[in-house]
Amino acid sequence: MVAKILGLNRTIVALIAIACVLLTASGVMVSMNYGRLAPLIVLHFDALNGVDTFGTRASIWGVWFLGLAINMVNWALAYEFYHRERLLSYLYLGGNVLISLIMFIAIGVVVSIN
């Protein structure tokens, strides 16, 4: 139904929906856990050096908004290229799903270790 209204095929609508669900889930995860986070949170760590990057609680919203901005740019490019080169449209939207998934995992890790 939505595909007919927008004039798009099901694949594009599915890719947009998956990216939106992942973005929404990561935003809900941040908002539900924001109050319990310490004022200074760990943003990066590795097995060799341990913790090497700290940030404020608001930094986690910065990660989320950066992912949202990247998704919006890719959505605009996918819309622009849809009628000219459909393959590019699929690539941009597939990249959105991948970016949203990586962002969801990263936010989940940052929230769970803090």
The structure tokens 């924001």 sit at 34
pLDDT at position 49, please?
A: 79
pLDDT at position 1, please?
A: 47
> Is 3's pLDDT higher than 60?
no
The structure tokens 């694949």 sit at 11
Give the closest residue to 19 by CA, choosing from 88, 100, 87.
100
Q: By the 8 A CB rule, do 77 and 92 touch?
A: yes
